[in-house]
Amino acid sequence: MNKILVNWLDRYFSNPEAIALVAILFGALSAFKIFGSVIAPVTVAIIVAYLLFGLVKKLQKIHVNFIAAVSIVFILFLGVIVWLFLWALPILWEQLIRLTQELPKIFNHSQHFLNGLYARYPDIFSTEYVARLSGHVANFSSDFGHSLLSFSLASIIECLGLC
């Protein structure tokens, strides 16, 4: 068994480039795991910048000044972002209204389900456990409703800095 393992290791890891690749992959995965919340936005920004710079280079090939090309691409990019935001905001608002209308129904269904657990499986679920679980569901829905209420159109505009 040892000879098989040693032969396998010699075959694949005798090359220094293979060892470097494994080390780089391990380091990159570790960095993403540890610093993922910071690295993810930076990675997205680098990808977007790379793509936009490609557009700038294409504009320069058709003899557009660098500053003008950057300005055109930037204005185009901002226009697309604003258009996506204005397109998505009414849809999100409508879905939020539907969620607030359906929330009492969802809460009632969850209460009936939890009460049915005791009726169907009295050996597994005690009334005390079902009552505690119902309390957790009630607390969660109350907290969610409070968060949903505090999240209003005024707070969206304030977050965007449009006021």
Amino acid at 34: I
- Is residue 89 located within the same domain as residue 126? yes
- Is residue 58 located within the same domain as residue 89? no
Of 16-20, 30-34, 101-105, 115-119, highest mean pLDDT: 30-34
- The more confidently predicted of residues 89 and 81 is 81
- Is residue 39 located within the same domain as residue 109? no
- The more confidently predicted of residues 71 and 102 is 71
d(CA 114, CA 82): 45
Phi-psi region of 51 (alpha: psi -120 to 50; beta: other; left: phi over 0): alpha
Mean pLDDT of all residues in 32-56 = 86
Give the position of tokens 């990019």.
77
- The more confidently predicted of residues 79 and 118 is 79
pLDDT in tens, 51-76: 899 999 999 999 999 999 999 999 99
- Is residue 91 located within the same domain as residue 59? no
Residue 145 in contact with residue 103, Cβ under 8 Å? yes
Q: Has residue 74 been placed in a domain?
A: no
Residue 148 in contact with residue 118, Cβ under 8 Å? no
Percent share of the chain, pLDDT over 70: 87
Q: How many domains does the chain have?
A: 2
Instruction: Please report, in angstroms and rounded to a whole number, the separation of the first and last CA atoms in the chain.
Output: 71
Please give the residue range of the domain that contains residue 13: 1-64
Looking at every residue in the chain, the average pLDDT score rounds to 80
- The more confidently predicted of residues 54 and 138 is 54
Mean pLDDT of all residues in 104-122 = 77
- Is residue 59 located within the same domain as residue 99? no
User: 95 falls in which pLDDT band (50, 70, 90)?
Assistant: confident
- The pTM score is 0.46
